[in-house]
């Protein structure tokens, strides 16, 4: 048995001549929490439907547990979906909704009773077994939908933006519960979302998608700290992008000119002198200093504070640099940096520690 | 409310009045009309009408459901065309359409000729003035009343529920039986009622297509009013008929526990 429960090999899908997915290669490992992250319309849901069997790929193959599932209808695949709208059966109670899959398998009544009650207990709904979906709150309906899928012990649970219609606090709670549930059950979850925060906080690995193809697959930390493309960087979190040109390069470092200042970045890079690069700096890595706080400004960029946004745990600044570029900086309240409150219109210096930036060559 | 209840009240009142040759209705109040009804002929007519209407409803349902389902599920221009086909018959009076069915059904009509030409039968088929003809006429006239409520119901059915059933391991038959059918029950019931009630009372179809052989409830009422001119007796039949239907509806009402079923009625 392979360690991958699902594999997609060069899968493409077009509908009415439009390419929805293009040459997607993806594997879902046993027991992992994998998230598909991307803007709406990037093909995430189509990808799920290819796995669940509601759509067939135009090209390429889907393997479930090592078996090619081409042409296999949804009810014969051992994967189950939690739909975005929950799609609970309105004419059945919570219990009957959950029992539906087991009844389709014609399990004995006693086993159904036992397994359904068990699962309802896991999702903390044992008291609501006899309610109909319309008598349940959004969060409870969500739990019924999850219970209905996991009671069948699927190989993989597919979740199509299941939290998107819940309010912020409930979403936070459900995120945590889903994560705990996944650990408890030990089955792979393939979770679709357009919320980058959700993706980062829940996943073992994140698949960043854009316009029908996969941009990057990696741990949340990898995709956040080492984005492989400008799209990934822009989609996950905020980022400041500076233009630069390589002025010198050797095996240990690369020198470049960024907005009129020279900077050296350590490390081995395959760049050439004269090549244009994007320099990516996260707002939390961008430091802002008042004029009185600095002695040496050779590495720093002058600017004016344009906006101050107090967020409780952090303060965000929007700073207009002298080249007219607007950058974002985030300051945490910590002991060694007492000066966190700058006023709008104040002259400041912006800078970042060498090594905290990400270099990306211009796309050719 | 006035338009709905006033005719009922008038009919109810008339059913307790006496009848004479000079006046349509006259005093004194009497229960004689109802006593007259306790007659095996009326019972037989009622049973036969009930039977015919029930069969007609079942045939309409069997023919109408797949048709409604297909229209509800397809998209684009074909859908518009099919709905148009459904509405076109309403542009002509149902009476005229029934007359035109005579030409189709008569021994030298289209059906008979076509069957003979195909060699399936060797002598003209006597379809007209049979129960089959009445049934064909009823089904043809009432089928749209079955399809339209079904169509609205099926269109409102969330296709994601069907996806969910399939996803949970239900094959097409189970999905239909456990999800589609229960959720389209309101449409089925309203379609059945819309077909069943007119099938009981429509009088010109048995008259024209069934000849004198088939006397149904509608004909009896029509006879009492227009031919015999015994309005009180006709009213009494009508009142009893309405009463029995109300009882039937109440029985159905009680038997369906689901609130959503009732909403559509």
Question: Are A4 and A29 spatial neighbours (Cβ–Cβ below 8 Å)?
Answer: yes
CATH annotation of A240-361: 2.40.50.140
What is the β-pairing status of strands A205-210 and A33-37?
parallel
| Distance of alpha carbon A233 from alpha carbon A56, whole angstroms | 32
Task: Calculate how close chain A gets to B260, using CA atoms only, in Å.
Answer: 9
List of chain B residues whose C-beta atoms are within 8 Å of the C-beta of residue A148? 168
| Distance of alpha carbon B82 from alpha carbon B67, whole angstroms | 9
| Distance of alpha carbon B178 from alpha carbon B190, whole angstroms | 20
Q: Which of B160, B161, B169 sits opposite A104 (nearest CB)?
A: B169
User: What is the number of other CB atoms lying within 10 angstroms of the CB of residue B152?
Assistant: 16
Percentages helix, strand, coil for chain A (3-state, rounded to 5) are 25, 35, 35
Q: Residues of chain A whose C-beta is under 8 A from some C-beta in B? A: 52, 54, 73-76, 80-81, 83, 85, 87-91, 100-101, 103-105, 148-149, 152
Q: Taking a contact as any Cβ pair under 8 Å apart, which residues of chain B between 146 and 185 contact chain A?
A: 158, 160-161, 163-171, 174, 178-179, 182-183
Nearest chain B residue to A153 by CA distance is B168
Extract the tokens encoding B124: 């003209």
Question: Are A136 and A128 spatial neighbours (Cβ–Cβ below 8 Å)?
Answer: yes
Q: Provide the strand spans (E) within chain A.
A: 4-15, 18-29, 33-37, 59-64, 67-68, 79-82, 156-160, 188-193, 205-210, 213-218, 240-249, 253-258, 261-266, 276-281, 286-289, 301-310, 314-321, 326-332, 347-352, 358-361
* CA neighbor of A51 nearest in space, from A20, A85, A16, A26: A26
Nearest chain B residue to A85 by CA distance is B160
3-class DSSP assignment, residue B159: helix
| Distance of alpha carbon A311 from alpha carbon A189, whole angstroms | 33
| Mutate which: A84, A87, A92, A101, vs B, most B CBs within 10 A | A87
| Distance of alpha carbon A4 from alpha carbon B69, whole angstroms | 41
Contact A101 B258 (CB under 8 A): no
Question: Are B219 and B203 spatial neighbours (Cβ–Cβ below 8 Å)?
Answer: yes
Contact B166 A73 (CB under 8 A): yes
Instruction: Band the pLDDT of B261: cuts 50, 70, 90.
Output: very low
Residue B100 CB-density burial (10 A; 0-12 exposed, 13-18 middle, 19+ buried): exposed
List of chain B residues whose C-beta atoms are within 8 Å of the C-beta of residue A50? none
User: What DSSP character marks residue A343?
Assistant: P
Task: Calculate how close chain A gets to B167, using CA atoms only, in Å.
Answer: 5
Contact A89 B166 (CB under 8 A): no
List of chain B residues whose C-beta atoms are within 8 Å of the C-beta of residue A90? 161, 183, 260
Q: Is the pTM of this model over 0.80?
A: no
For A39-62, how does the pLDDT look when each residue is reduced to its tens digit (9 = 90+)? Answer: 888 888 889 999 998 888 998 889
For B179-225, how does the pLDDT look when each residue is reduced to its tens digit (9 = 90+)? Answer: 898 888 888 888 888 888 888 877 777 777 776 655 677 777 777 77
pLDDT at B213: 59
- The ipTM, to two decimals, is 0.76
Summarize the confidence of residues B46-72 as an average pLDDT. Answer: 88
For A190-241, how does the pLDDT look when each residue is reduced to its tens digit (9 = 90+)? Answer: 999 988 888 888 899 999 998 888 989 999 999 888 888 888 888 888 888 8
Residues linked to residue A27 through DSSP beta bridges, in sequence order:
A7
Summarize the confidence of residues B18-22 as an average pLDDT. Answer: 64
In chain A, list all ranges with CATH 2.40.50.140.
240-361
List of chain A residues whose C-beta atoms are within 8 Å of the C-beta of residue B170? 75, 100, 104
Q: Which of A73, A83, A105 sits opposite B160 (nearest CB)?
A: A83
Cα torsion through B187, B188, B189, B192, rounded to 10? 120
Nearest chain B residue to A76 by CA distance is B169
Contact A81 B167 (CB under 8 A): yes
User: What DSSP character marks residue B210?
Assistant: S
CATH annotation of A4-235: 3.40.50.300
For B100-149, how does the pLDDT look when each residue is reduced to its tens digit (9 = 90+)? Answer: 777 777 767 777 777 777 777 777 667 667 777 888 888 888 888 899 88
Task: Tell me the H-state helices in B23-130.
Answer: 32-37, 40-73, 77-87, 94-105, 110-118
For A78-95, how does the pLDDT look when each residue is reduced to its tens digit (9 = 90+)? Answer: 899 998 888 999 989 999
| Mutate which: B166, B168, B188, vs A, most A CBs within 10 A | B168
Question: Are B143 and A55 spatial neighbours (Cβ–Cβ below 8 Å)?
Answer: no
Contact B168 A105 (CB under 8 A): no
For A148-192, how does the pLDDT look when each residue is reduced to its tens digit (9 = 90+)? Answer: 999 988 989 999 988 888 888 888 888 988 999 999 888 999 999
Contact B170 A100 (CB under 8 A): yes
User: What is the number of other CB atoms lying within 10 angstroms of the CB of residue B118?
Assistant: 8
In chain A, list all ranges with CATH 3.40.50.300.
4-235
| Distance of alpha carbon A180 from alpha carbon A118, whole angstroms | 16
Dihedral pair phi/psi, residue B204, rounded to 5°: -80, -20
Task: Calculate how close chain A gets to B165, using CA atoms only, in Å.
Answer: 8
| Mutate which: A46, A49, A73, A75, vs B, most B CBs within 10 A | A75
3-class DSSP assignment, residue B58: helix
Share of chain B above pLDDT 90, in %: 4
Instruction: Band the pLDDT of B263: cuts 50, 70, 90.
Output: very low
User: What is the number of other CB atoms lying within 10 angstroms of the CB of residue B95?
Assistant: 12
Summarize the confidence of residues A257-279 as an average pLDDT. Answer: 84
pLDDT at A3: 80
CA angle A317, A322, A327 (to 5 degrees): 30
Nearest chain A residue to B257 by CA distance is A91
Instruction: Band the pLDDT of B262: cuts 50, 70, 90.
Output: very low
Angle between helices B185-201 and B131-156 (to 10 degrees): 150
Q: Which of A54, A90, A105 sits opposite B169 (nearest CB)?
A: A105
* CA neighbor of B53 nearest in space, from B123, B151, B144, B139: B139
CATH annotation of B33-94+142-263: 1.10.3720.10
For B142-157, how does the pLDDT look when each residue is reduced to its tens digit (9 = 90+)? Answer: 888 899 889 988 988 8
Q: What is the rounded average pLDDT for all residues in chain A?
A: 87
Residue B260, CA atoms < 13 Å, CB-side half-sphere: 14
Residues linked to residue A315 through DSSP beta bridges, in sequence order:
A310, A331
Contact B182 A91 (CB under 8 A): yes
Task: Calculate how close chain B gets to A87, using CA atoms only, in Å.
Answer: 5
């Amino acid at each position: 048995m392979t360690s991958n429960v699902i594999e997609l090999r060069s899968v493409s899908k077009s509908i009415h001549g439009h390419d929805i997915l293009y040459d997607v290669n993806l594997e879902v490992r046993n027991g992992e929490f994998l998230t598909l992250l991307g803007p709406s319309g990037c093909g995430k849901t189509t990808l799920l439907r290819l796995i669940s069997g509601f759509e067939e790929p135009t090209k390429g193959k889907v393997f479930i547990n090592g078996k090619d599932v081409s042409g296999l209808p949804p009810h014969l695949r051992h994967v189950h979906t939690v739909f975005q709208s929950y799609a609970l059966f309105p004419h059945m109670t919570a219990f009957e909704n959950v029992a539906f899959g087991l009844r389709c398998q014609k399990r004995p009544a006693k086993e159904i009773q036992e397994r359904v009650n068990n699962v309802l207990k896991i999702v903390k709904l044992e008291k609501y077994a006899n309610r109909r979906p319309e008598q349940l709150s959004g969060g409870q309906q969500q739990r019924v939908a999850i219970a209905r899928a996991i009671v069948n012990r699927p190989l993989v649970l597919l979740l199509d933006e299941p939290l998107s219609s819940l309010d912020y606090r409930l979403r936070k709670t459900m995120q945590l519960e889903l994560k705990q549930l996944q650990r408890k059950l030990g089955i792979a979850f393939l979770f679709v979302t357009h919320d980058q925060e959700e993706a980062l906080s829940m996943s073992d690995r994140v698949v960043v998608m854009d316009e029908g193809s996969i941009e990057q697959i990696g741990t949340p930390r990898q995709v956040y700290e080492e984005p492989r493309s400008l799209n990934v960087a822009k989609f996950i979190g905020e980022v400041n992008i500076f233009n630069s040109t390589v002025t010198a390069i050797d095996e240990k470092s690369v020198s470049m000119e960024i907005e009129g200042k020279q900077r050296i970045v350590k490390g081995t890079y395959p760049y050439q002198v004269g090549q244009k690069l994007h320099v990516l700096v996260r707002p939390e890595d961008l430091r802002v200093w008042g004029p009185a706080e600095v002695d040496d400004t050779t590495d720093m960029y002058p600017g004016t504070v344009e906006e101050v946004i107090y967020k409780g745990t952090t303060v965000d600044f929007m700073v207009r640099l002298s080249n007219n570029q607007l950058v974002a900086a985030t300051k945490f309240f910590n002991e060694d940096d007492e000066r966190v409150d700058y006023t709008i219109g104040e002259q400041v210096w912006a800078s970042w520690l060498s090594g905290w930036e990400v270099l990306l060559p211009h796309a050719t | 409310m006035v338009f709905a209840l006033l005719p009922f009240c008038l009919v109810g009142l008339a059913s307790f009045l006496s009848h004479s040759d000079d006046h349509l209705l006259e005093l004194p109040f009497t229960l004689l009309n109802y006593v007259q009804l306790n007659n095996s002929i009326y019972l037989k007519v009622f049973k036969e009408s009930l039977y015919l209407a029930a069969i007609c409803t079942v045939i309409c349902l069997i023919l109408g459901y797949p048709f409604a389902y297909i229209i509800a599920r397809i998209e684009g221009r074909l859908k518009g065309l099919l709905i148009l086909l459904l509405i076109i018959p309403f542009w002509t009076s149902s009476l005229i359409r029934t007359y035109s069915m005579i030409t189709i059904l008569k021994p030298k009509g289209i059906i008979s000729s076509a069957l003979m030409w195909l060699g399936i039968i060797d002598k003209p088929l006597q379809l007209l003035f049979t129960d089959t003809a009445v049934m064909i006429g009823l089904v043809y006239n009432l089928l749209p009343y079955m399809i339209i409520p079904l169509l609205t119901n099926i269109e409102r059915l969330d296709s994601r529920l069907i996806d969910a059933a399939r996803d949970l391991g239900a094959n097409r038959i189970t999905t239909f039986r456990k999800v589609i059918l229960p959720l389209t029950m309101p449409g089925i019931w309203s379609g059945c009622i819309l077909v069943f009630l007119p099938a009981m009372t429509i009088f010109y179809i048995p008259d024209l297509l069934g000849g004198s052989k088939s006397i149904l409830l509608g004909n009896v009422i029509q006879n009492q009013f227009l031919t015999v001119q015994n309005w009180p007796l006709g009213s009494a039949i009508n009142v009893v008929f309405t009463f029995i239907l109300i009882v039937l509806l109440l029985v159905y009402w009680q038997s369906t526990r689901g609130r959503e079923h009732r909403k559509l009625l």
